[in-house]
Amino acid sequence: MKRYVRPLDSTATDWVFGRVVVGTNDENAPYFARDEVVTIRESQPTGMYPVWGGDSLPIPLPTDGKVPDLSNAGPAETTPDMMTRASWLPKAGSSGYRVFWYEFGPHYKGRNTTPCHWHDSTEIWFIAEGEVVIILASGDERTLRKGESIVVTGIDHRWENRSGRSAIASVVSLASVRTGAAPDTGDDLTKEMTTPEA
């Protein structure tokens, strides 16, 4: 089965990726539970493309690997569609997690930057292609390039793509508990991005 992503700088609106999940079958043997090409029509305006997730940790094992441990998960055959509608970030204060690809297009919503924002999660970003700049509310910034990673811990930040071509990142987002004051400059995206679409 061929797996690929939409070529960088392509004008195509479909974003295609491969999702492979291993699990344990009824005979207690490892197997490939999911081996599929996922097509997301008309790129989401946020550029987020969900791979897998769960609403609590630790993950109970063994698992058959057919359905993610999400409260809105249905039968295995509905998983690809359900994942396109799942909440993007785990709920604050839970022990949930999300795994997704993120595309930083050269023109996010008509410009090359996201708004300053924060959310109650800890995110580990791995830059797979291109480069992107993270800018903190303090004004400090760092350019991240292919092969680099960053851990973002619930602080005010924004992303900017200055390269003129798409950048792709793989992201693991872990629900976190805020014990101190929330940032007071950016937008709180926690609620907006944890509310599944109808």
Domains of the chain: 15-193 (2.60.120.10)
Helix (H/G/I), strand (E/B), else coil: 123:
strand
Q: What does the alpha-carbon distance between residue 37 and residue 47 come to, in Å, rounded to a whole number?
A: 18
Binned at pLDDT 50, 70 and 90, residue 17 comes out as: confident
Residue 112 amino acid letter: N
Residue 73 amino acid letter: A
Average pLDDT over every residue of 11-24:
78
- 93/150: higher pLDDT: 150
Average pLDDT over every residue of 107-120:
72
CA-wise closest residue to 96 among 9, 12, 196? 196
Binned at pLDDT 50, 70 and 90, residue 134 comes out as: very high
Binned at pLDDT 50, 70 and 90, residue 2 comes out as: very low
Binned at pLDDT 50, 70 and 90, residue 123 comes out as: very high
pTM, entire model: 0.80
Per the CB < 8 A criterion, the answer to whether 40 and 5 are in contact is: no
Q: What does the alpha-carbon distance between residue 55 and residue 66 come to, in Å, rounded to a whole number?
A: 16
Q: What does the alpha-carbon distance between residue 49 and residue 84 come to, in Å, rounded to a whole number?
A: 7
